[in-house]
Each structure stands twice: as C-alpha cells, then as structure tokens.
Amino acid sequence: MNKIAVLLGAILSLVPNIQYLADLRYRLEPAPEYSVCRSLLCSDRQLLDSADRLAHGNKRDKAVAVANLQEALRRSVADPDRWAALGDAFFEAGRVQEAQYCFTRAVDLGPQNPPAFWRTAQFYARIQQPVRSQEYLGKMLALLPEYKELVFDTYISSGSDVIETFQHGIPPKSHLAQDYFRYLLAHNAPLADIRKAWDWLQRNSPNDDRLAGDYVDWLSSRHEYGLAAETWNRSVTAYDRTYLNPNLVFNGDFESPPFPSGLDWRFAETPGVTIKRDSTVAMSGSSSLKIEFDGKENINFNSIAHDVVVTPGRYHFKAWVRTSELTTDQGIGFRLVDSAGQVNLETKRLTGTHDWTSLDLDFTLSGAARLLRIAAIRQPSWKFDNRIAGKVWIDNVSLVRL
C-alpha cells in the first residue's frame, strides 16, 4: 500500500513539470499543440491562448487553432463564447459555412450574451450581409444600450441604408431610435439620409417635440430654412394654429412654455433680471411674458430672442408691451437683425408706466431665404441714475408678410 502511495505521489509531482514543458514547447514550436493537448494535461486556458496566437497565422497555424478550439469546445459544448471563437477560427481558415453554423449555435446558446451577438454581427459584416449584422447588433443594444455610441459608429462607417438600420439595427419600441437620429445629426450625415430617417421616425415612433427642435436647429445650421419652417410647423402645429398662417412668429402670445430648441423663444439668464411666463396678465389669451428688473444693475439686456424664417417681400412687425414703473432713460424695445446682415432695425422703447402699447416696424427684404432674429432689448444708460428697475409684459408678438 505504501509503495502505491509513493508511486502516485511521484506521478502527481511530475504534472506541473509536464505542463511547463508542454507550454514551453508551444512557444518554440506551435504546430504540435493540438496533439500535445490531446495526450497531456493541457488546460483550457492553454488551448484558448494558443488558438488566439495561431488564428491569424499561416494555413498550418490556422488548422491547429481550429483543432485546439474544437478540443476546448468538446470540454464545454454549451459555452456560447467557445462556439463564437471557433466560428472566428473557421472564418480565418476560409471555412465560411462551418463558421456560420458555429455563430448560429453561439447565439442560440447565449440569448442573453452580448459578446456572442457582437462577434456574430462582425462575422455577417465580413461576409457582406449587413442586414443580418445589424440584427445581431440590435440584439446587443437591447441588452447593453450603454454601448450605443460604438454600435452607431459601426452603422455609419458601414455605409448601410439608413432605413434598413432603423428597421433591423434598432431595438423596437425603444428610445434608441431617437438616439440614433440625434447621432446622425451630430455627425452631419447627408441631408438625404437625415430626411429619410426623420420620415421613418414620423411613421414609426411617438411624436417627440424636443427631437423636432433638434432637427429644425440642424436644418437651420445647414441653411435649409424653408424645410426647417415646414418641419417645425408640422411638428408643433397643435400648440399654435396661427403659425405661418399668417404669423411667422411661433408662440407669439406665450400661451405655451417655450421649447428648448427649434423656432421658439430663447431665454438666457441675466443677473438682475427675472424672466417668466405670467398667467395673471395678458393682452389676449391667458398668458404673457414678464420681465422684472431688480434695480441693482445698469443692464445691457438682450436675453429674449426668437428666430423666424423669412423670404423676400414686405413685412409688418408688431409687439404689444406693458410697463410698470420702469426706471432710467433707457427702456425696453425690440431689435430685428437678419442672418444676411442686410437688416438691423429697432422699435421705439418704453419707460415709466404704460398700458398695453404696440411697437411696430415695416420693412422690405430681398435676396434668398434667411433667419431673422427678433430680440427684446434694453441698452445701458449713460446717466448717473442708471440702474434699471420695474416690470415689463410682452404679448402678441407677430411678423406678417404683407
């Protein structure tokens, strides 16, 4: 009995040395790796590492990589990652049908395995099947939406049809469709693709006013002014039925809170000034815009603006303004400036206390379509008593083509 124990101990003591010699031989001469692993105690790690080293080598190396991965898979036949690894090795060896079978098994065994989906998607991209590739990338996104930047970049780089990407590469009923559209905007995709993507979203996703605003801003930055106004009108017509018919100023009566993007009012925070919608005072409707100066600053005020799209023709601008105890010699008024640098007009300005008073301008435009910025302004006073205090209400702002 003692002799058996001594013999067994001697054999076990040789195991680390056998593994060391096998690993050393791999590094000196990789070709015998498979036969060595079949006959000696070879770890899964050694099989996988050797296959990774050999998969991109010559024909003989690739064959060894396949053999070692087959042995690793035999040891764990339900492992989706090993099926995917064998699929990669088969592809490198030019055995495409066997590779496809392996990737099919990988995703069947790993329905919640993002790496299997990623590797399968890469395989289909390499064999020029972009729709299948996008299907698996979409499955990966459903599990790991935080990797959307990587996947979206893959979509753009592949040059795939944008509609196919939305249909096959974006998980259904998720916010990722809107995220991908914003990604297209941020990366200045071709206008034709952007328009197709927007039309697809209108048919297949819930309305998103903020997304519409982002799209309109992008169109304006590309000087697609007519399309910007048309898109904005279709997207927000429920909020202002008079927009473009006839009033070019959207939400000119402040009946709805301004959107953060698009052709709506923009407010900027200014020290010494409070700007908010007021539902207790209105020239018509139920709301107006209230500006309150705290009397601590001699303010150069231009923190309220609205961009409108204009084309050649004659125009009439009107805004109704009410003031209460507005101090200094520099009161509140409006300035109109166009993006072509041809128009720079100002209305009269109000100080003191006034009931609702209209501030008007008539002017003519020529040339191409452009943006016209309407801004409420107050210039600094040069007098000793120059700190402005008081309240202003603005309502029923309109720009109408005559």
Dihedral sign, Cα of residue 363, residue 367, residue 372, residue 378: negative
Domain count, the chain: 2
- Which of 61, 86, 111 finishes a domain? 111
- Which of 111, 131, 164 finishes a domain? 111
CATH number at residue 324: 2.60.120.260
| Lowest mean pLDDT, pick from 9-18, 33-42, 275-284, 342-351 | 9-18
Quick check: is 362 in a domain? Answer: yes
- Which of 84, 111, 138 finishes a domain? 111
Quick check: is 307 in a domain? Answer: yes
Quick check: is 51 in a domain? Answer: yes
The separation between CA 164 and the C-alpha centre of its own chain, rounded to angstroms, equals 18
Q: Residues 182-204: pLDDT tens digits?
A: 999 999 999 999 999 999 999 99
- Pick the most confident of 22-26, 36-40, 170-174: 170-174
Quick check: is 220 in a domain? Answer: no
The pLDDT value recorded for residue 49 is: 76
Quick check: is 84 in a domain? Answer: yes
Q: What is the pTM of this model?
A: 0.83
CATH number at residue 35: 1.25.40.10
The pLDDT value recorded for residue 48 is: 77
Residues 127-135, mean pLDDT to the nearest whole number: 96
Quick check: is 155 in a domain? Answer: no
Q: Is the pLDDT of residue 30 over 50?
A: no
Q: Copy the structure tokens of residue 196.
A: 């197709």
Quick check: is 185 in a domain? Answer: no
Taking all residues of the chain, what is their mean pLDDT, rounded to a whole number? 89
Residues 64-77, mean pLDDT to the nearest whole number: 87
Quick check: is 7 in a domain? Answer: no
Full 3-state SS string of the chain: CHHHHHHHHHHHHHHHHHHHHHHHHHHHCCCCHHHHHHHCCCCHHHHHHHHHHHCCCCHHHHHHHHHHHHHHHHHCCCCHHHHHHHHHHHHHCCCHHHHHHHHHHHHHHCCCCHHHHHHHHHHHHHCCCHHHHHHHHHHHHHHCHHHHHHHHHHHHHHCCCHHHHHHHCCCCCCCHHHHHHHHHHHCCCCHHHHHHHHHHHHHHCCCCHHHHHHHHHHHHHCCCHHHHHHHHHHHHCCCCCCECCCECCCCCCCCCCCCCCCCCEEECCCCCEEEEEECCCCCCCCCEEEEEEECCCCCCEEEEEEEEEECCEEEEEEEEEEEEEECCCCCEEEEEEECCCCCEEECCCECEEEEEEEEEEEEEECCCCEEEEEEEEECCCCCCCCCCEEEEEEEEEEEEEC
Domain encompassing residue 84 = 17-111
